[in-house]
Amino acid sequence: MEKLDPVTRKVHVRVPATSANLGSGFDTVGLALDYHDELEFTLSSDPLNMAAQILITGEGENTLPRDESHLVVSTFRRACSRFGLSKCGFIMEAHNNIPQARGMGSSAEAIVAGISAAYAFSHEGELDRDVIFQYAADLEGHPDNVAPAVYGGMTVSWTEDGQSEIVQGEVVNTGFRSVNYLVDAGVRASIFVPDYELSTAQARAALLNTVPFADAVFNVSRMGLLIGAMNPSALAGEQDPNELLFTATQDKLHQSYRAPLMKPSAELIDLLREHGYAAAVSGAGPCVCVLHNGDASDDLNQIATAQLASGHWRVLHLNVDTQGVQVARL
CATH of the domain at 67: 3.30.230.10
**Looking at the predicted structure, is the pLDDT value of residue 146 above 90?**
yes
| Summary mean pLDDT of the chain | 95
* pLDDT at 169 (0 to 100): 66
pLDDT on residue 113: 98
Determine the distance from the C-alpha atom of residue 55 to the mean position of all C-alpha atoms in its chain, rounded to a whole number.
Answer: 22
pLDDT band at 162 (very low <50, low <70, confident <90, very high): confident
Q: Could you report how far apart the first and last alpha carbons of the chain are, in Å?
A: 27
* Domain co-membership, 216 together with 172: no
Of 78, 73, 100, nearest in space to 17 by CA: 100
pLDDT number for residue 170: 73
Q: Which amino acid is at 61?
A: E
Q: What confidence score (pLDDT) does residue 237 get?
A: 87
Closest CA to 189 of 16, 13, 15: 16
pLDDT digits (tens, 9 = 90+) for 30-43: 999 999 999 999 99
* CATH code: domain of residue 244: 3.30.70.890
The torsion region of residue 167 among left (phi > 0), alpha (psi -120 to 50) and beta comes to: beta
pLDDT value of residue 109: 98
- The H-assigned helical ranges of the chain are 71-82, 106-122, 129-140, 146-151, 200-205, 213-230, 241-248, 255-258, 263-274, 297-303, 305-309
Indicate the DSSP class of residue 323.
S
CB neighbours of 137 closer than 8 A, spacing ≥ 6? 143, 146, 147, 157, 173, 176
Q: What is the pLDDT of residues 204-244, one digit of tens each?
A: 999 999 999 999 999 999 999 999 999 999 999 889 999 99
193 & 170 share domain:
no
Which phi and psi (to 5°) does residue 215 adopt? -70, -35
Do residues 203 and 261 make contact, with C-beta atoms less than 8 angstroms apart?
A: yes
Q: Helix, strand, or coil here: 205?
A: helix
65 plus 206 within the same structural domain: no
**Residue 110 DSSP symbol:** H
Residue pair 32/322 in contact by the 8 Å Cβ criterion = yes
Give the model confidence (pLDDT) of 92-105 as tens digits: 999 999 999 999 99
Total length of the chain: 330
Residues 20 and 99 in one domain: yes
Mark whether 169 and 202 lie in a shared domain.
no
Q: How many domains does the chain have?
A: 2
Q: What is the pTM of this model?
A: 0.95
Q: Which domain holds residue 256?
A: 187-319
Please tell me what DSSP assigns to residue 88. -
Distances (CA, A) of 57 to 38, 137, 229, 318: 10, 27, 37, 22
Q: HSE of 323 in the Cβ direction (CA atoms, 13 Å)?
A: 13
Same domain as 149, residue 212: no
* 209 and 158 fall within a common domain: no
